[in-house]
């Protein structure tokens, strides 16, 4: 019987940029190992078009993602809860491991800076998956 996938939830306030890209990279690099999710404490209701474009550049279609709240994870057991450095905490999510990455919010950044944040998130996701 195959091992159960380890659930990871990436959390940011609006769930429109950083956490969405982290979820996408976890889907790419953690296929067969992790079951990634993303959520926000105050979701914006949309995925930022800049994030969609930045992920399109690396071959991932973020248009299928939606901005969602943390409520669905309250009381849920996950392997890791990763906050993006937005000061968010998710006390009702039961995580074996909590990590805060301190990643700057790219919302108002230039496309070049946005790509740097995207690439930083990808590197962190790879490190996280390797450590599980």
Spell out the domain ranges in the chain. Answer: 6-131
CA 98 to chain centroid, in Å, comes to: 13
Most distant CA atoms of the chain, gap in Å:
47
Question: Nearest to residue 7, comparing CAs of 41, 35, 28?
Answer: 35
Cα–Cα separations (whole angstroms), residue 74 to 40, 43, 55, 120: 12, 15, 28, 28
Would you tell me which CATH number, out of the four given (3.40.630.30, 3.20.20.140, 2.30.110.10, 3.40.50.2300), belongs to the domain 6-131? 3.40.50.2300
Share above pLDDT 90 across residues of the chain, in percent, rounded to a whole number: 81
CA 19 to chain centroid, in Å, comes to: 3
Reported as a pLDDT band with limits 50, 70 and 90, residue 86 is: confident
Contact (Cβ atoms closer than 8 angstroms) between residue 129 and residue 33: yes
What is the pLDDT, as a whole number, of residue 17?
A: 95
pLDDT digits (tens, 9 = 90+) for 5-64: 999 999 998 999 999 999 999 999 999 999 999 999 889 999 999 999 999 999 999 999
- The DSSP line for the chain is -PPPPEEEEEE-SSSSSHHHHHHHHHHHHSTTTEEEEEEBSS--SS--HHHHHHHHTTT--GGG----BGGGGTT-EEEEEEE-SSS---TTSEEEEEEE--PPP-TTS-HHHHHHHHHHHHHHHHHHHHH-
Active-site residue list: 12, 86, 90
Alpha carbon distance 28, 71 (integer Å):
25
């Amino acid at each position: 019987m195959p091992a159960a996938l380890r659930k990871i939830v990436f959390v940011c306030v609006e769930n429109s940029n950083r956490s969405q890209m982290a979820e996408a990279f976890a889907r790419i690099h953690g296929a067969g190992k992790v079951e990634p999710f993303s959520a926000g404490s105050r979701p914006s209701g949309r995925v930022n078009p800049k994030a969609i474009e930045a992920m399109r550049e690396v071959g991932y279609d973020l248009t299928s993602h939606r901005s969602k709240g943390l409520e669905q994870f309250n009381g849920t057991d996950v392997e890791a809860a990763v906050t993006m450095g937005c000061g968010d905490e998710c006390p009702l999510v039961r995580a074996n491991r909590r990590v805060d990455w301190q990643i700057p919010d790219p919302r108002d950044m230039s496309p070049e800076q946005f790509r740097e944040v995207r690439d930083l998130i990808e590197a962190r996701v790879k490190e996280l998956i390797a450590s599980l």
